[in-house]
């Protein structure tokens, strides 16, 4: 829908799947934030090589974290759109899983299925350890591109305080829209 709306207004769009997600052939269990940042950078380099000079980023959840960290490193990003952006992934994971599940994850490189499935999902604990080396709040302080953040008030994964803290840290023009009855996927009706 977003692609259709943007192209109707003459804006080119480019979507990609992170490592191991969507149609990407790689194994999701090997994903790290460092890999995701490298992929985002590669996509931006490709767009620039194609002649696009005004490039904005849109990211949702983990993709929002990647967008913030990428925009902080690339002052040429002209605008930023964030839906329920993760500000502190290690905190989010600890809140979601709790102490016992974090210990099980570290010991087994598997996590419980967070979307209601049964069994455990392979995911290397290296993802958590890698994320400890990044600070999205500090990165947001370097972003001067106009930024819009949309956050669901009933988001079951990303705590609203993280999105608010990213918003407060941003250096440029910014807007924060809280949808009080929206969940993480914006599928919950009012």
* pLDDT per position as a tens digit, 12-48: 888 887 766 666 666 678 889 999 999 999 999 999 9
Query: Tokens in use for 116?
Result: 């209601």
Among residues 44, 47, 50, the alpha carbon closest in space to that of 70 is found at 44
Residue keyed to tokens 């490189």: 109
* pLDDT exceeds 60 at position 60: yes
Average pLDDT of span 117-135: 92
Query: What pLDDT, on the 0 to 100 scale, is given for residue 169?
Result: 98
Q: Angle 134-164-13 (CA atoms, 0-180°, nearest 5)? A: 70
What is the pTM assigned to this prediction?
0.91
CA distance 68 to 138: 10
| Residue 70 token pair | 């990428």
The whole-number average pLDDT for the span 64-79 is 95
Residues 183-189, mean pLDDT to the nearest whole number: 81
Q: Give mean pLDDT, residues 104-117.
A: 87
Q: Which residues pair with 82 in a beta bridge?
A: 59, 149
190 has pLDDT over 70: no
3 state DSSP class of 50: coil
């Amino acid at each position: 829908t977003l692609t259709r709306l943007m192209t109707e207004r003459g804006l080119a769009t480019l979507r990609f799947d992170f490592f191991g997600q969507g149609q990407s052939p790689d194994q999701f269990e090997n994903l790290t934030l460092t890999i995701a940042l490298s992929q985002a950078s590669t996509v931006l380099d490709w767009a620039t090589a194609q002649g696009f000079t005004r490039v904005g980023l849109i990211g949702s959840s983990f993709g929002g974290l990647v967008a913030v960290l990428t925009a902080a490193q690339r002052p040429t990003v002209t605008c930023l759109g964030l839906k329920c952006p993760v500000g502190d992934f290690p905190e989010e994971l600890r809140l979601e899983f709790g102490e016992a599940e974090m210990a099980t994850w570290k010991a087994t490189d598997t996590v419980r299925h967070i979307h209601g499935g049964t069994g455990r999902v392979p995911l290397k604990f290296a993802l958590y350890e890698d994320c400890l080396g990044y600070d999205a709040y500090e990165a947001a302080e370097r972003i001067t591109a106009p930024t819009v953040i949309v956050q669901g008030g009933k988001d079951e994964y990303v705590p609203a305080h993280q999105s608010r803290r990213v918003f407060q840290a941003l250096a440029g023009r910014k807007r924060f829209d809280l949808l009080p009855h929206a969940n993480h996927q914006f599928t919950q009706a009012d």
